[in-house]
Amino acid sequence: MTRRILYLWILVLAASSCSKSVEVLVVTGGHAYDTTEFFEMFNSLEGISFDSVSYPAARELLSSPKVMKYDLLLFYDYLPDMPLADSLIFQDLTQEGMPMIFMHHALCTFQQWEGYQKMVGGKYVMPGYQNDTSLHSGYAHDLDLKIEVLDPSHPVTRGIGEFVIHDEGYYNIQINQEVIPLLGTKHPHCAPLVAWENQWENSTCLYLMCGHDKQAYNNVSLKLLLKNSVQYLSNL
- Model pTM greater than 0.85? yes
Mean pLDDT for 154-173 is: 98
Report the C-alpha gap between 24 and 48 in whole angstroms: 7
Instruction: Name all contacts of 37-43 with Cβ < 8 Å and 24+ positions apart.
Output: 37/213, 37/214, 37/217, 37/218, 38/76, 38/214, 38/217, 40/217, 41/217, 41/218, 41/222, 41/223, 41/226, 42/226
116 near 81, Cβ under 8 Å? no
Quick one: angle between helices 35-43 and 220-234, nearest 10? 60
Q: What is the pLDDT of residue 17?
A: 46
Answer yes or no: is pLDDT of 4 > 70.
no
Answer yes or no: is pLDDT of 2 > 90.
no
Q: What is the pLDDT of residue 204?
A: 98
223 near 43, Cβ under 8 Å? no
Answer yes or no: is pLDDT of 15 > 70.
no
Q: Residue 236: which pLDDT band, with cuts at 50, 70 and 90?
A: confident
What pLDDT digit, counting tens, does each position of 98-113 carry? 999 999 999 999 999 9
Q: What is the pLDDT of residue 229?
A: 98
125 near 135, Cβ under 8 Å? yes
Q: What is the pLDDT of residue 78?
A: 98
Answer yes or no: is pLDDT of 76 > 60.
yes
Answer yes or no: is pLDDT of 13 > 60.
no
Report the C-alpha gap between 119 and 116 in whole angstroms: 5
Mean pLDDT for 81-106 is: 97
Mean pLDDT for 221-230 is: 98
Q: What is the pLDDT of residue 221?
A: 98
Q: Residue 10: which pLDDT band, with cuts at 50, 70 and 90?
A: very low
Q: Is the CATH code 3.40.50.880 the one for domain 23-234? A: yes
What are the residue boundaries of the structural domains of the chain, listed by start?
A: 23-234
What pLDDT digit, counting tens, does each position of 176-225 carry? 999 999 999 999 999 999 999 999 999 999 999 999 999 999 999 999 99
Answer yes or no: is pLDDT of 6 > 60.
no
